[in-house]
Amino acid sequence: MMKEGVIITKISIKQKGERKHFQIKLPMDTKFIIGVEYGGRLIDKPETVVVEPAPDDGGHTPTFFKRNQLIGELKLQSCEEANWFYSADVLANDVNLGLADFSKAGFPVNDFTHGNKRTEEIVKIDAESTIIQGWYLDALGKSVNADIKYEVNVYVWINVEE
Amino acid sequence: MLKATKKRFDIKILVANSTVSETFELEKNIVKVHGVLVTSDKDDLLYYRGTQKIEINKEEFFPDNYESKLLMSGINVSPKQRYYDLGGVAPGNGRVQILYKDLDDGRTVFAPYRVSLYLDCEMEDEL
């Protein structure tokens, strides 16, 4: 019988434009890699840096579309296969959740109150090799020209034979 | 007859950067656990600072350091779809363990908060 599991890998970023190569070790009985998702945590926030745009305070019209903060780029590759099997822009919270909300009902729109359910991105990769090569490039520090300390967590969902 | 029921278990986080572990017990007539959801009275703190491990019947479903934000659903999600689908787990001994970790995040200021673990269960009407 197949069972699902998840492997969590932390990538720690300390400098602007930092590039990290990392490996994710899968259990020997892994059959497939079935999904990937990511999360993160800001460890140190320099005073001058605005990491996330504030929720819409009425300064713009509710239909004004804002750009999400790009945190970095993440790519994963299985040792058995050529080319990346997962490549994603790591983004901060969705700042357009309140787009076209004209109610101004005193209930500010945030990811933690109005956010959608988070689900992993589905991939289907043979796990004959138990090592995944990963690559991450910081964009947050570069965009504000400062060293920002943060962690990115990479979640690799796997199918394990019981 | 089987019927759907929701269970809620609360833990209190009183100190910043602390770890809280609690074990709860489900009723004996619960036959399946279909879903899991976490919420809080200060949901920004749970969203940015929280990670947890969840075990049911000593089987780990979410490992250590699994971020709470991945198990949260906002009010934009319809009520029937808010739970993370576990696919109908047999509760076994009925023990549900949560190991919750609070970690500083540059976007929040700590204040004591409550974390609620909701389980979407199926129970037998009569034992």
Residues in chain A within 8 Å Cβ distance of B43 = 112-113
pLDDT above 80: residue A56? no
pLDDT of residue B93: 94
pLDDT of residue A45: 66
Instruction: Give, in degrees to the nearest 5, the angle at Cα A155 between A110 and A96.
Output: 20
Residues in chain A within 8 Å Cβ distance of B104 = 43
For the entire predicted model, the pTM comes to 0.88
Q: Average pLDDT over chain A, rounded to whole? A: 87
B65 touches chain A (CB under 8 A): yes
ipTM: 0.87
What is each CA distance from B121 to A91, B9, B97, in whole angstroms? 34, 13, 16
| Closest approach of A138 to chain B, Cα-based (Å) | 17
CA B100 – CA A17 distance, rounded (Å): 32
pLDDT in tens, B41-99: 999 999 999 999 999 999 999 999 999 999 999 988 999 899 999 989 999 999 999 99
pLDDT in tens, A120-145: 999 998 888 889 999 999 999 999 99
End-to-end CA distance of chain B: 10
